[in-house]
Chains A and B, each alone.
Chain A
Amino acid sequence: DSGVTQTPKHLITATGQRVTLRCSPRSGDLSVYWYQQSLDQGLQFLIQYYNGEERAKGNILERFSAQQFPDLHSELNLSSLELGDSALYFCASSVAAGWETQYFGPGTRLLVL
């Protein structure tokens, strides 16, 4: 158990819909990272927040957005969902802002039908 929690574990929805994935980092960690893992794309970095501010941006689509709240939990919003958005979405956390040890949550498996 890494100490990072993610909800929900599984999500099934339809194309065109919007969903919100939630992540609570380990106690004391200020950085939250979001990743997408699909069979054909591997592990893709989406976005990083540090202490409430966006820190780094990866291959995140414009239909996706994220935020980190004052209590440091983070939400990833996925809208206008397409079949290709079906994937495992991981959240990870680390103590500081740099590229250091990241602790991954169990992931949310999203299936878009």
Chain B
Amino acid sequence: QQPVQSPQAVILREGEDAVINCSSSKALYSVHWYRQKHGEAPVFLMILLKGGEQKGHEKISASFNEKKQQSSLYLTASQLSYSGTYFCGTAAGNMLTFGGGTRLMVKP
């Protein structure tokens, strides 16, 4: 079953913060975050494994709450380059299932 992402879309001004959530009804082994710009391939951001570890990548970080089967992606002090569609992928068993995506637009 596809993980649910929220919000579906968000518009920010440069320098503002955003949170993108990803929740699953299945027990998860890991959560993967990717960003895809229009017309391009998805680009890996980070993977979070069971254990609630929070990871970071520049000003983008994420957390994974395995009890709640949720992950959140935190974008701080957003830059124009952050614009794109963010996908979470949840791995359970032999399947990696992606959410429907969150469209993020950062305006000057």
B 1-41 to A, binary, CB cutoff 8 A, 1 in contact else 0: 01000000000000000000000000001101000000011
Main secondary structure of the interface of B (DSSP, over half): strand
Query: Min CB distance, A16 to chain B, in Å?
Result: 29
With A99-B32, A100-B47 already in contact, the answer to whether A44 and B98 are too (CB < 8 A) is: yes
**A45 touching B95, Cβ below 8 Å:** yes
Count chain A residues whose beta carbon lies closer than 8 angstroms to a beta carbon of B: 20
Query: Min CB distance, A111 to chain B, in Å?
Result: 15
**B44 touching A45, Cβ below 8 Å:** no
**A105 touching B98, Cβ below 8 Å:** no
Main secondary structure of the interface of A (DSSP, over half): strand
B 68-104 to A, binary, CB cutoff 8 A, 1 in contact else 0: 0000000000000000000101010011111111000
- Measured between beta carbons, the chain A residues less than 8 angstroms from B44 are 101-104
B interface residues (Cβ-Cβ under 8 A, vs A): 2, 29-30, 32, 40-44, 47, 87, 89, 91, 94-101
Q: A56-B96, A99-B30 are in contact. List 7 more A-B contacts (CB 8 A).
A: A2-B41, A44-B98, A45-B96, A45-B98, A57-B94, A58-B95, A104-B42
